[in-house]
Structure 1
Amino acid sequence: MSSLPRVAFFADSFHEVNGVALTSRQLDAFARRRGYPFLCVRGASEDGSISDGEHTGIDLRRGWASFSLDRDLRCDPLLLRWRGRIGDALRRFRPDVIHVTGPNDMGILGVYLAHQMGVPVLASWQTNVHEYGRRRLERMLGFLPAGTRARAGAWAERESFRAVTWFYRLAKVILAPNRELVETIGRETGRPVYLMQRGVDTTAFSPAFRARQDQEVVLGYVGRLQPEKNVALLVDVERALRAAGVENYRFLVAGDGSERGRLQKELLRADLPGVLKGNDLSKAYA
């Protein structure tokens, strides 16, 4: 291995609006700024490739067989059709490690090629897929009695966790976002698991962007407005505030998703501006 590890990064989500995509873009931008040897393979609506010194980004178009996993995230079960093209790119790049972000189509392609080429895999645990699966299934089964929904949800969570941890056993090393998951994933996979540290861009998220002068207490949420994020809890929080006689408050809920309409209808004192980026997002946080 050279002094600077050559990393091939397979991002299940990159161009979308979600936490995994943001983390992937930040990692890609960091490697590009530092001039690190970095090959980033990601899904996109159109094929494309860009190179800048030791940095290369490859967009792979998901095809007709792809299906929706989320509002703007898809999975292509036939993505292995690109194994020849991406295999050639990997051989030219000569990676020391292949980093995958999960068990979606890009992650499966990355693991497949890594094992074909004898390159070690690093896998980062980005999403609690098993918990999301449980909440979505219980919502779909809303017409059933609560006990039946709970049992079905528990089964789905247990079996999906088993399937996901099987995938992560294919990696030599795993990264996880908190210490609880470090311990749980290490116990279930038998692989070394390390804490994936996070940071804050103190230039973008600075009190310097604060413009409001009022004395309202603003309760903020930024993220996807999906059932698995438990954003319905915001409605319960507001009811509790009003029951306690609190009136000097306002919710600021930035993001989009299937729950946005419900929040617009049920939250009485709230701004829901949709997806915010750049200075608009900085001002919202400030």
Structure 2
Amino acid sequence: GYTEMMATSEQELLGTDLGQYFSAISDKRRKNSEGRNRMYSLFRNLLKKSDKDNLAKAERIRKHNLGRKKQRARYTRDIGVIKTIVNRELNLLFSRKKNPIKEIVVEDLSARMKVHFGKKWNRRLSGWMRGYLQERIRYKAKKFGIEVSEVNPAHSSRECPRCHCTDKKNRLGDSFKCSFCGYHGHADLVAALNILGRLGDKDIRIGMSPSRVKAVLDGRYVGWKSLNHTVSDRTSGAARVVNESPRSASSKSELRSNVQVRTASK
């Protein structure tokens, strides 16, 4: 993620200072770009004048204000800060003594991540972040002897972990509230629960298109409604049953109760 680095199925948000660094980097780059554009405009205007003083001034601007060396150095420093956060959080995660991790399950990080810092900056940052985070997770997992598995993340931040409803209205920013059963929580933490649920899921496989994943989830949603309305009619006659915990009826989830799952949320 960009507000925080990772969300877990244990309902933890890791690297929560990542967002403020991204915002600071974005603001700084925008300010630098505005100043650079002004200097470039002045440079072009000076070149149109043929007198010696203006041409000399244009050359000084080109040399000291329009070069790439400082720009690349700033970018390297900015990336260095982000690398520090990523490695710090992964080291704390993989080396913890209490409730140690045996396996980590992540979404397929080759999927495009969406950010809102301007097209050019988005392209550079999102492409770099995906690859670096994926490489670091695998490197550190191997170092600590932890298995890594990837699952298909399609609709994971919109799927209700209780009834499998995937209505677009379920998610609004970082907030999640199911439009059918009312289950609610932080959207990234909800997605982490869904990532856990897809470990070993034979119906939702890596490489499946989002539309096919949606069809599977819609089928489960219809089945959940049918089952719970039937149970409701047999007991209190209530219109809807919403008290069960997410995936409480899933034996597959029970078998994985000791698996520590981490997901870099969309």
Which protein has the bigger helix share? 2
TM-score, with structure 1 as normaliser? 0.25
In the superposition, the TM-score normalised over structure 2's length comes to 0.26
More strand by share: 1
Question: Rg larger in 1 or in 2?
Answer: 2
